[in-house]
């Protein structure tokens, strides 16, 4: 039986490979050091996701021919479908990371794209691709619920 234990990719929606930023008192928001900090997070996260995508593609190519039994092949195919959905999410995430990196370059990173206030270091560390402050995000979600 092909009961290979899969490594789950649950962690791909968050990235923990960094030390939380320690602000000095009175430090300016998004100064060079902070920008550098988030650029590093975004770069490292993107690299991790891209390696994950690569790994799956190779893994699927290796495995595809190894299941002569139709039952094995069927379960393999549904596993592949799940993998592909996960990879699709990761690709979208990589796209968002690229957008955030572009914001870093243009100096817009860390500020709410709707109202312009500071998104905040802790919120950005929890969600490095955030483009909205918590208030605008909450409002957005309420609006979405009304439409959907
Ligand atoms: Zn806002």
CATH 1.10.10.60 fits domain 30-108: no
Q: What is the pLDDT of residues 43-62, one digit of tens each?
A: 999 999 999 888 877 777 76
Cβ contacts of residue 75 below 8 Å, gap of 6+? 2
Q: Where are the alpha helices (DSSP H) in 64-148?
A: 70-106, 121-126, 134-147
CA of 119 to the centre of ligand 1 (A): 7
Q: What is the pLDDT of residues 63-112, one digit of tens each?
A: 666 667 777 878 888 888 888 898 899 999 999 999 999 999 999 999 99
Cβ atoms of 48 and 17 within 8 Å: the answer is yes
Domain boundaries along the sequence of the chain: 30-108, 110-148
What local confidence, expressed as pLDDT, does residue 66 receive?
67
Cβ atoms of 124 and 104 within 8 Å: the answer is no
Cβ atoms of 91 and 85 within 8 Å: the answer is no
What local confidence, expressed as pLDDT, does residue 9 receive?
42
CA of 118 to the centre of ligand 1 (A): 8
Q: Average pLDDT, whole number, for the chain?
A: 86
CA of 137 to the centre of ligand 1 (A): 7
CA of 144 to the centre of ligand 1 (A): 16
């Amino acid at each position: 039986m092909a009961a290979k234990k899969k490594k789950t990719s649950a962690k791909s929606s968050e990235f923990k490979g960094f030390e939380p930023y320690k602000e000095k008192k009175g430090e300016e928001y998004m100064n060079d050091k902070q920008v550098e900090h988030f650029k590093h997070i975004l770069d490292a996260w993107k690299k991790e996701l891209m390696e994950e995508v690569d790994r799956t593609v190779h893994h699927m190519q290796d495995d595809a021919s190894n299941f002569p039994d139709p039952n094995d092949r069927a379960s393999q195919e549904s596993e592949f479908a799940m993998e592909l959905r996960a990879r699709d999410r990761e690709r979208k995430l990589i796209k968002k990371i690229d957008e955030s990196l572009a914001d870093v370059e243009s100096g817009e990173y860390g500020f709410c794209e709707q109202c312009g206030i500071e998104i905040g270091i802790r919120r950005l560390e929890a969600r490095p691709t955030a483009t909205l402050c918590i208030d605008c995000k909450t409002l957005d979600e309420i609006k979405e619920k009304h439409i959907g």
